[in-house]
Amino acid sequence: MMNNTWRFRFSIVALPWAFATGFALLIGLFRNINLLLLLGYLLLAIPVLNVLTAALPLRGLRARRRIAGPVYAGIPFAVDIRVAPANGRARLGVCVEDAGPAHRLSWFVGRLERDAPPLRGRVVLPRGRYLWGPVLASSGYPFGLAYRRKELAPAEEVIVLPRPGRLHRGLFRRLLWSAASDPDRRRRQPRRHPAAQDQFHGLRPFRAGDSPRAVHWRTSARRGEWMVQEFEDLPGDNLLLVFDPALPADDGPGVFSRGRLDDFEAAVSLAATIAVEWRGDRGGRLMAVVAGEDPDVLDGPSGPAHARRVLEMLAVVEPLASPSASASAALLARLTGLPSAAVVVVGAGRGPLADVLHKALQRPVACLDAAALDELDFYEPPVADHSGKRGA
């Protein structure tokens, strides 16, 4: 809600003006010099007139802010402020200000017309919820001794999304398949499910309960025994992306060094990149989870709309101390009922969460450590250039 309260202040120039006015009036009174008294009264009348007239250019002004979204952390974006008088009459000497905790824009407009072009600026913000302050207009017309200020547009909250990098999808899928081919999994009997791809894994002797459709007749005839085909049970179109916000504290509970916070931001960016770039060959789903005492879960078909929701969830995540047993239990409870999928855990370090998921889900889990980005050949971290475009 917009606050229409008018604010009043004197400029720094008013201080020497007040000394000069007082000096002229005192000397004129004590020495009975009429000319100095006249000068003192004139000097006193000018600030009073300024107070009365400073609000005139602000009456009837309207403003509208437009932010060129979506807004990504560390990337410059454009902000347009359109200010116009309601009655169409030009305004003189108006200063427009748009500010927040991490930015400040100001423009001085000597003559403000109704069809004036919008005021434009560029802003770079950090990730998270950002409270954008109101649009303010001030005027010191005509002498600049006293200023009036008025709020033209209300404050608003902006979600600054994590900045994604670039993902090599082929190499990333290769990582998922290599995780599915771990030695522990080779010792288990593969399980099929409706989301599995027909990825041939090998041949083995027929066991009770195997489907006759899986029999490889040519090899069976050659070897004299029934041989069945094994298939990978990794669903190639579903992905369970788990973000681990646990971060070791350096100087006490909840106190993190600059380096660890940088690793945490790198982990958020890596998770955001996977969410944006993931596409199943035949559709598929993306299930994004932020672990914690009250884990957040987003499940939906992979695509730009769902990826935007995942980025908004990652935008507000904060580092936490090492998760407790109750946090792991809450996470496993939230994962119950989700479709079978490849599992990826992203974090700033290699915590115990990947092992917990591996044992509970009985599925291979790929653990991605953002503190060792050099080991991830499928990923290019984001680099912001001065033009506001994403680079790498």
Do the domains spanning 1-160 and 235-391 agree at the CATH topology level? no
Beta bridge partners of 244: 347
Pull the structure tokens for residue 350: 């290699």
The C-alpha angle with vertex 57 and arms to 51 and 61, in degrees rounded to 5, equals 130
- Specify the pLDDT at position 183: 43
Bond from prior residue into 248 cis (ω within 30 degrees of 0): no
* CATH T-level fold of 235-391: Rossmann fold (3.40.50)
How high is the pLDDT of residue 350?
Answer: 86
Q: What is the pLDDT of residue 215?
A: 80
Strand partners, 78: 122
What pLDDT sits at residue 203? 75
pLDDT of residue 38: 94
Instruction: Point out which residues pair with 125 in neighbouring strands.
Output: none
Q: What is the pLDDT of residue 317?
A: 95
Q: Which pLDDT score is estimated for 383?
A: 79
For residue 245, what is the enclosing H or E element? none
Nearest 10 degrees: CA dihedral of 260, 265, 270, 275? 140
Annotated domain spans of the chain = 1-160, 200-231, 235-391
Which architecture characterizes domain 1-160 according to CATH? Sandwich (2.60)
> Could you tell me the pTM of the whole model?
0.78
User: What tokens does 331 get?
Assistant: 């996470």
Q: Would you write out the chain's pLDDT as a tens digit for each of its 392 residues?
A: 566 556 778 888 899 999 999 999 999 999 999 999 999 999 999 999 999 999 999 998 999 999 987 999 999 999 999 999 988 789 999 999 999 999 999 999 999 998 889 999 999 999 999 999 999 999 999 999 999 999 999 999 999 999 999 999 889 988 887 776 554 443 344 444 444 444 455 677 877 767 777 787 888 888 888 887 765 544 458 999 999 998 876 655 667 888 889 999 999 999 999 999 997 656 688 999 999 888 999 999 988 999 999 999 999 999 987 766 677 888 888 888 777 889 999 999 888 898 899 888 888 899 999 999 999 999 999 975 544 333 33
What are phi and psi for residue 108, nearest 5 degrees? -110, 125
Supply the pLDDT for residue 186: 38
Distance separating alpha carbons of residues 198 and 86, to the nearest angstrom: 66
Q: Is the dihedral of CA 111, 113, 115, 118 positive or negative?
A: positive
- Give bridge partners of residue 98 from the DSSP assignment: 105, 135
**Radius of gyration (C-alpha) of the chain in whole angstroms:** 33
Q: Could you give the CA distance from residue 160 to residue 156 in angstroms, rounded to a whole number?
A: 13
